[in-house]
Amino acid sequence: MKIFVDADACPVQEEVISIAKQHHLSVVLIKNFAHYSDTNQAEHVTTIYVDKGSDQADFRIIKLAQAGDLIITQDFGLASLCLGKGCVPIHHKGFIYTHENIDRLLQARYFNAKARKSGQRTKGPKPFTALDKEKFTQLLVKTVKNLTNT
């Protein structure tokens, strides 16, 4: 099992890397070149850069991920594709995407986009909080333990 992170705007990269290390798991950060960094990462972390452009990171994650892998993303469309591939997608605010909730999330995204196109103002995402980070961390630890039986 690997952990793939849709890393361009992911606020929990450090937590993912730390938890993965504790459980001897590999982490693959997928970023576009606009987020290039020459920072040295831990041995268990690989960074893959993709071209700028809509969904390039998503396409690479789908190409590389295998059933049972964890995917950290806030992108509902990517999460839907991951579910279809047998992966376990997790949102950085601390919830798991499931076959039971993905249709509702995609539908809400569609209606919000439609409203914005018609000139309506829609609410953006709420700010990421310390409580969100703690909720995510607890969920990731629990999920990793369940998937690795440790």
Render pLDDT for 81-134 as a digit per residue (tens, 0 to 9): 999 999 999 999 999 999 998 888 788 766 767 777 888 777 777 899 999 999
Mean local confidence (pLDDT), 20-49 = 91
- To the nearest 10°, report the CA torsion of 61, 93, 41, 59: 10
pLDDT of residue 15: 97
CATH assignment of 2-148, among 1.10.3470, 3.10.450, 3.40.50, 3.30.70: 3.40.50
Domain ranges, ordered by start, for the chain: 2-148
* Residue linked to tokens 């609410």: 123
pLDDT, position 150: 65
pLDDT at position 30: 96
pTM above 0.85, yes or no: yes
Q: Can you give the pLDDT at residue 18?
A: 97
What's residue 55's pLDDT?
Answer: 87
